[in-house]
Amino acid sequence: MNILLLGYGKMGKTIEQIALERGHQIAGRIDADNYADLANLEPDDVDVVIEFSSPESAAENITYCLERNWPVVCGTTGWLNRRPAIEALCERTKGAFFYASNYSIGVNLFFRLNKVLAQFMRNYPSYHVSMTEIHHTEKKDAPSGTAITLAEGVMEQLPGKQRWVSNEPGKEPLPVGEDAIEIESLREGTVPGTHTVRYESDVDRIEIKHVAHSRQGFALGAVIAAEWLVGREGIFGMDDLLGN
């Protein structure tokens, strides 16, 4: 399988390593420094694209690829206000688009655990729900896409929660009403990703946490998604890949 890497930072390099170990070829490595080289690729040069670039360039990258009938696996977060247009394009071109805020199998199990816990907490309004996410200092968007997915999972199960509020150190804190979930975003060193969901009352605290030890889990999941996507048509996510 010939894989085009759109975004060749630390994640792109880890994806490349895993893809080569699994017997695939790299059709191209495109980053901001050599973006013009993308035009040199012929349609038949690429079987699938794995897109881990930046919030500013993701939508344009995906559009370019779908217009060339290249299946796209995207892991870039922070651009989802343009997702409806991307999905409409995918449908018009009869293409294939796979998006996940996090490709780690463990994180996707954590998403499910998060929903189950939120369902349990419906009848206990004395507990206040909040979240903390910690990532490396090079991460550009806050809160993380994973934290947003977790917040959305809680909102599905707790009817009183209608929105999330992002608070970052060094910025004026935003008010958090009864209808909101506070997400605290911290940027520390080289942390791959730590997410905590907590329910706190006057007498105790319940927490669930996922700690990533490296980028390997995210990268492996993205390559597996690319293998799965080739030959399909439509819009997909991790639930489709995992069969649930």
Q: Is 237 annotated as a binding residue?
A: no
Considering the domain delimited by 105-211, tell me its CATH architecture. Answer: 2-Layer Sandwich (3.30)
Residues 6+ apart with CB under 8 A from 1: 24, 25, 47, 48, 226, 227, 230
Which of these is catalytic: 10, 13, 128, 139?
139
**Contact, 48 vs 1, CB < 8 A?**
yes
The residues, any chain, with a CB within 8 Å of residue 44's CB and separated by 6 or more, are none
Instruction: Decide if 2-103+216-242 and 105-211 have a common fold.
Output: no
| Annotated binding residue 145 | yes
Catalytic residue among 135, 161, 195, 210: 135
28 is an annotated ligand-binding site residue: no
CB 207 within 8 A of CB 196: yes
Provide the residue-wise pLDDT of the chain in tens; the chain has 244 residues. 999 999 999 899 999 999 999 999 999 999 999 999 999 999 999 999 999 999 999 999 999 999 999 999 999 988 999 999 999 999 999 999 999 988 998 999 999 999 999 999 999 999 999 999 999 998 878 899 899 999 999 999 998 999 999 987 767 776 778 899 999 999 999 999 999 999 999 999 999 999 999 889 999 999 999 999 999 999 999 999 988 6
Tokens 């071109």 belong to residue: 93
Q: Is 209 a catalytic residue?
A: no
Say what the pTM is.
Answer: 0.79
User: Is 195 an annotated catalytic residue?
Assistant: no
**For residue 158, what are the CA distances in angstroms to 8, 27, 104, 111?**
39, 45, 25, 15
Matching CATH number, 2-103+216-242, of 1.10.260.40, 3.40.50.720, 3.20.20.80, 3.40.640.10:
3.40.50.720
